[in-house]
Structure 1
Amino acid sequence: MDRVDTAAGRPNVAFLFAGQGSQKSGMGHDLYEASLAARTVFDAVEKVRPGTREQCFSGTKEELSLTKNTQPCVFAVDLACACALRERGIAPAAVAGHSLGEVAALAFAGAFDVAAATRLVQERARLMTACCDEHPGAMRAVLKLDAATVEGLAAQAREAWPVNYNSPLQTVVAGSPEACEKLDALVREAHGRSMAVAVSGAFHSPYMAAATDGLAAYLAANPPQVPSVTAWANLTGDPYADTPAQIAQTLSAQVSHPVRWVDELHGLQAAGIDTFVEVGPGHTLTGLVKRTLEGVTTYNVETPDQLEEVVQALGEA
């Protein structure tokens, strides 16, 4: 990404799209009522996947925790929030998404229309669920230890891999349930802290290799367009390449390889981004930005009030 022009003094904005784990009942409901653009996104998703609105607005915790529901629901809320901002004149210089959020980021940037992205998310969820059934796994968030230390501990645990480099002192590890239990003990010995991640399998690990193969085949038949906004890739920590084939290859590989979020954030800042707006449920990514970067401004947008706050701060209605 070329450095963006800062001459006008406006904040150089990136949208960050939330990932799986941020879901909650009621998400997106108030914005659906307040924003035509958000409503248009939800209605388009609903045509492809009936019941998505109801799951977002009133689904139970148990219902929303199922990957087949989580992914399309969080995708819909992410994209609706971003489009509500664009409707009010807030346009980003770049977009990035954490894991699932990367699909929403690419859709917002024009690589897929809403219907195509919804179908892609459904296929992604189906393939990842199948991998979880074939290779039962678990995930742990390791805190208070740097990434190099966590890499060493994961190697000792065997059948465990660092899969989310979230912040300098938060790395998520995925692997077999037995390896994750061994990792817990190793982390305690190293004076760190490990927390179980509430997911159904070892996402972004080699256990997801079949999902990468399936997505590659799916995207070969349903290729993306070249984004009109610079989109950053979890796989590399750099911007996506600008050919459909390379975009498809990177996106399909993402599900079985680590999310290099720290690298993405540093790269965005080096490219001139100084304002990060998290779009979608929760504020997990906002917290990761604050723990990783200095000298930046953060917002998160999920509700009409938060939308108004960002519009007041960054642009004109």
Structure 2
Amino acid sequence: MAKIAFIYPGQGAQKPGMGKDFYENSELAKAVYDKASELLQIDMKALCFEENEKLDLTEYTQAALVTTCLAMTKVVEERGLKPDVTAGLSLGEYCAISVAGGMKEEDAISLVRKRGILMQNTVPAGEGAMAAILGMDASVIEEGIKDLEGVTVANYNCPGQIVITGETKAVEKAAEILKEAGAKRAVLLNVSGPFHSPMLKQAGEELAKEMEKVEMEPLQIPYVTNVTAEYVTDIRETKKLLAEQVAASVRWQESVERMIAEGVDTFVEIGPGKTLAGFLRKIDRSVKVYNIGTWEDVDKVVLELTV
């Protein structure tokens, strides 16, 4: 019997029109969007379905993406496909926790709205940056930046793709050093801040205060945390981990490897884009990977995995 993981993308996967077909075809999905609009006093239909500049602003992106992924998941689960474990890349971890039963949808959406605002506003524009380092081992990158102040690893995505983060000048200098040391490419990312950097520690502390207002629920299934790449079965650990996650490295490759070690052989990426599927193919090509990002995908994937 296949063990299935539902996995959720992070910021950067968003695109205009995401989830519109779910909204139009499912009352369950429609209810998620409508509830989010009411909760946040934001027109989520306009934000997610139409071309607009707000969708790529962190303070809006996070709520839009989580709302979309949760709406899609409602449809998938209604069709009878359920996960044995969940995980999400950075922002996607909020979807993973909600789908695992640990957090009400409305709390996940409200929290990521606050998280997005905190992450966007904690570091003044221009002072922080991120860069993707391609074609270089993590250990070589760590060695290459260890003596540089103000730069750390943000994401361990997959073999050959590591993201660094920190002070703008330090990230730019690190990118040059790593290119000279043999990286295939070092690409500065179009982001509004140094995400998953110690520079965002204050944002994590402020988020912890917001989480005190949220009541967590017992987990129905485990999820895997970005911070340690371990299974979480006790919801009492979650608030601390989410507060740490803002400034900590995202251990995505280890998270996937941990799930595979626990018997997961089927991964279903739910949400726009196929970023995580791409990472998975570089981590372990032996596992099955599916994407659900459109209404048409639902029938195809559910039929294959539930027959």
TM range (shorter): over 0.9
Distance 1:205 1:135 in 2: 15
The one-character-per-residue Cα deviations of 1:204-242 (angstroms, maximum 9, x if unpaired) are 110110011111112123232222121110001011240
The answer to whether the aligner puts 1:229 opposite 2:221 as a matched pair is yes
Which of 260, 263, 267 is residue 251 of structure 2 equivalent to? 260
Which of 275, 282, 285 is the matching residue for 2:273?
282
Identity %: 35
Deviation at 1:35, TM superposition (A): 2.5
Q: Alignment partner of 1:274: what SS?
A: strand
Q: Decide whether the 8 Å contact of 1:36 with 1:84 is kept in 2.
A: no
SS in 2 for 1:275: strand
Partner of 2:202: 210
Q: Which letter does structure 2 place at the counterpart of 1:162?
A: V
1:160-198 deviation digits (Å, cap 9, x = unpaired): 100100002111000111011112211221221111222
State whether structure 2 residue 162 is matched by structure 1 residue 162: no
Aligned residues of 1:75 and 1:104 also touching (Cα < 8 A):
yes
Equivalent residue, structure 1, for 2:189: 197
* Structure 2: 5+ residue stretches without partners: none
In structure 1, what is the Cα distance between the partners aligned to 2:47 and 2:213? 29
Tell me the alpha carbon deviations over residues 133-160 of structure 1, each in whole angstroms, 9 at most, x when there is no partner: 2882000011100101111222244311
The answer to whether the 8 Å contact 1:107/1:113 transfers is yes
Answer whether contact 2:222 2:233 (CA < 8 A) is retained. no
Whole-angstrom CA distance in 1 between matches of 2:28 and 2:99 = 12
Q: Give 1:68 deviation, angstroms.
A: 0.8
Where does 1:292-303 land on structure 2 (aligned, <5 Å)?
Answer: 292-303=283-294
* Amino acid paired to 2:215: P
**Structure 1: which 5+ runs fail to align?**
1-8
Select the residue among 26, 34, 47 that pairs with 2:25. Answer: 34
Q: What SS class does the counterpart of residue 99 from structure 1 fall into? A: coil
Please tell me the root mean square deviation across aligned C-alpha atoms, in Å. 1.5
**TM-score, reference length from structure 2:** 0.95
CA distance in 2, matches of 1:210, 1:134: 16
How far, CA to CA, are the matches of 1:220 and 1:122 in structure 2?
15
Cα deviations across residues 241-273 of structure 1 (Å, max 9, x unaligned)?
A: 4042x2110111101100000110000001111
User: What number of residue pairs does the alignment pair up?
Assistant: 305
2: CA distance between counterparts of 1:59 and 1:108? 28
Give yes or no for contact 1:157–1:180 (8 Å, CA) kept in 2: no
Q: Which moved more, 1:246-255 or 1:129-138?
A: 129-138
Partner in structure 2 of residue 188 of structure 1: 179
Quick one: which of 32, 35, 38 aligns to 1:47? 38
Query: Residue in 2 aligned with 1:136?
Result: 127
Does the CA contact (< 8 Å) of 2:84 and 2:221 recur in 1?
Answer: yes
**Does structure 2 conserve the Cα–Cα contact (< 8 Å) formed by 1:17 and 1:278?**
yes
Q: Map residues 91-106 of structure 1 onto 2, 5 A cutoff.
A: 91-106=82-97
* 1:68 equivalent in structure 2: 59
Contact 2:156 2:252 in 1 (8 A): yes
Cα distance in structure 2, aligned partners of 1:135 and 1:234:
26
Q: Does 1:83 align with 2:64?
A: no
1:148 aligns with 2:139: yes
Tell me the amino acid that sits aligned with residue 216 of structure 2.
P
1:13 pairs with 2:35: no
